[in-house]
């Protein structure tokens, strides 16, 4: 009976958190930002990772509350530790730009988070890693191209353009102008200005 009671309490706690988070989303859509933030915060403080991520967004962009990057980082960290992929991406970006500690420690932790988010299909993380590995102090071009192609195949026109550059210049892959043109054309068709300029050149 004790186990059953505990299970019911857990279900009730989760259901309330889900309901509060949904109410927060609906409030935000209706333009009631402070009410939305209150709902997200109540659900976040109950340990619901989706709400923790939403609280992080509110603090990062100043929606329904004062803008506070440190608090945004704290809530992204909470959600990321519960394996929320978009929070892993956002927390990694926070670590790289604002986080405490030495740069190398932050970068190491951030890259690990970005790898997890990219593996979970977060296009932004794939694109970020693609550029990161191409432009790092010790470039890993093959690895960078792998992530650029993942992001491009998820519809990211900028990553498609960068993949074209890789094929044109032989970065991480054998030089192939036909393949470069294919990537540039697809990127340009998706509205990428740099790809259009490259095609004209």
pLDDT digits (tens, 9 = 90+) for 46-60: 999 999 999 999 999
Regarding whether 7 and 89 lie in a shared domain, the answer is: yes
Residues 3 and 58 in one domain: yes
- The pLDDT of residue 19: 87
Q: What is the pLDDT of residue 11?
A: 56
Residues whose CB falls within 8 Å of the CB of residue 13, separated by 6 or more in sequence, listed in order: 46, 47
Residues 1 and 43 in one domain: yes
Question: Do 11 and 88 fall into the same domain?
Answer: yes
64 and 130 together in one domain = no
What is the pLDDT at residue 163?
97
Number of domains in the chain: 2
**10 and 105 co-located in one domain:** yes
Do 12 and 107 reside in the same domain of the chain?
Answer: yes
Q: Are residues 4 and 59 in the same domain?
A: yes
For residues 172 and 121, give the distance between their C-alpha atoms in angstroms, rounded to a whole number: 22
Choose the final residue of a domain: 65, 89, 113.
113
Claim to verify: residue 68 and residue 132 sit in the same structural domain: no
CATH number of the domain residue 174 falls in: 1.25.40.10
Q: Enumerate residue ranges in the chain where pLDDT < 50.
A: none
User: What pLDDT is attached to residue 12?
Assistant: 56
What is the domain extent for residue 11? 1-113
Domain co-membership, 183 together with 139: yes
| 141 and 100 fall within a common domain | no
Q: Quick one: pLDDT at residue 201?
A: 84
pLDDT of residue 102: 83
């Amino acid at each position: 009976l004790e186990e059953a009671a505990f299970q019911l309490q857990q279900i009730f706690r989760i259901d309330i958190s889900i309901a509060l988070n949904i109410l927060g989303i609906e409030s935000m859509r209706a333009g009631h930002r402070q009410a939305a933030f209150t709902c997200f915060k109540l659900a976040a403080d109950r340990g619901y990772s989706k709400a923790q991520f939403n609280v992080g967004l509110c603090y990062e962009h100043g929606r329904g509350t004062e803008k506070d990057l440190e608090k945004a980082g704290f809530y992204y960290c909470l959600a990321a530790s519960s394996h929320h992929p978009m929070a892993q991406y956002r927390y990694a970006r926070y670590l790289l730009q604002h986080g405490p500690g030495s740069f190398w420690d932050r970068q190491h932790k951030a890259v690990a988070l970005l790898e997890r988010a990219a593996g979970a299909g977060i296009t932004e993380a794939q694109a970020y890693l693609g550029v990161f590995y191409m432009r790092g102090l010790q470039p890993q071009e093959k690895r960078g191209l792998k992530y650029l192609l993942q992001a491009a195949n998820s519809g990211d026109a900028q990553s498609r353009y960068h993949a074209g550059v890789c094929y044109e210049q032989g970065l991480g892959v054998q030089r192939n102008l036909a393949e470069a043109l294919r990537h540039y054309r697809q990127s340009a068709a998706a509205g990428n200005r740099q790809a259009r300029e490259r095609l004209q050149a």
